[in-house]
Amino acid sequence: MEMVAVQDRRSRRRRSRSGRESIELHSLSISSEPSETQPDLTIRLANSAGQRSKASLLLNRMYSWRGYGHNHALPATPNSVTFTASSQDEVIGTLTLNVDSPPGGLAADRTFPEEIERFRGAPGAKLCELAKFAFDSSTPARPRLAALFHIIFMYGSMHYDCTDLFIEVNPRHRRFYEVMLGFAPVGKPKTNAIVNAPAQLMWLNVNRIREFIDRHAGDECETSRSLYSHFFSPQEAEGIYGRLAALGAPSIAPQQREQRARPFLISWLHPDRA
């Protein structure tokens, strides 16, 4: 049986060859024996040339293996942030958060323009999407996936006020996102021209993420298949919050970050006090 030990470690900054910084957000130890405490998974914000290069290599390797092509580039805009999951300095997972903004909108607009526009027109809506997702499934995936998704959920809510989250998936994987993360399908599958494959648009109300976390997080003994049971407990999440709050977001002015961060912490971790 796997043991998942979460270590609250201080954020470390590592210099890449380009001289920019790759920011470590969190480390996990996933081992088969309680005595094995060496961190085995590190979540980073891929804001260095080295991390982005490794993420791109993984993305294109995994996409090519599935027949989706091998020339996919990570977005490099102020409204896109890419995260990586690494084990022993090897990137084994990557996921990008895109935030709706003119003139480009979301990647999902290319395949599902009418569906996205209906959500965009709702009062107070702030749309975000998960994209460029690749994960080496040869490793124990569930706790690692949970760590990556939880951190990116927190980041998107904290810095971008996301209200609605989308992801395009192959229809074969629809059930995974429904059961594991609570996404719901929107409309019927269409062909995504970028990967030349069928795609199903999936949607998740961000407010429901907190409900799922409150219900499942930290309870790895529960029998449900929900990925939320492997999410961080409130105590663990509070440690990660400080590192995420310090990062800010490229499209948000520094003076606005503290104004957003504290109310977010209270409402996300302690909904009864919001």
- Copy the structure tokens of residue 19: 């001289």
Mean pLDDT of 225-229: 87
> What percentage of the chain exceeds 70 in pLDDT?
71
Of 152-156, 232-236, 246-250, 269-273, the poorest mean pLDDT is in 269-273
Higher pLDDT, 43 or 272: 43
Q: Residue 271 pLDDT > 80, yes or no?
A: no
The predicted structure's pLDDT at residue 26: 53
- Copy the structure tokens of residue 24: 């470590």
The predicted structure's pLDDT at residue 250: 53
What are the tens digits of pLDDT across the range 194-226?
A: 999 999 999 999 989 888 888 877 666 555 678
The predicted structure's pLDDT at residue 13: 36
Q: What is the pTM of this model?
A: 0.77
What are the tens digits of pLDDT across the range 11-23?
A: 333 333 333 445 5
The predicted structure's pLDDT at residue 218: 64
The predicted structure's pLDDT at residue 251: 46
Higher pLDDT, 245 or 79: 79
The predicted structure's pLDDT at residue 274: 43
What are the tens digits of pLDDT across the range 116-170?
A: 999 999 999 999 999 999 988 665 578 888 889 999 988 888 888 899 999 999 9
Do the Cβ atoms of 4 and 16 come closer than 8 Å? no
Q: Report DSSP letters for the chain, one per residue.
A: --EEEEE-----EEE-TTS-EEEEEEEEEEESSTT--S--EEEEE--SHHHHHHHHHHHHHHHHHTTS-S------STTEEEEEEEETTEEEEEEEEEE--TTT--GGGGT-HHHHHHHHTSTT--EEEEEEEEE-TTS-HHHHHHHHHHHHHHHHHHHH---EEEEEE-GGGHHHHHHHH--EEEEEEEEETTTTEEEEEEEEEHHHHHHHHHHHTT-TTS----GGGGSPPHHHHHHHHHHHHHH--TTS-HHHHHHHHHHHHHHHH-GGG-
Query: Among 3.40.50.620, 1.10.3210.10, 3.40.630.30, 3.90.76.10, what is the CATH number of 3-273?
Result: 3.40.630.30
Higher pLDDT, 240 or 268: 240
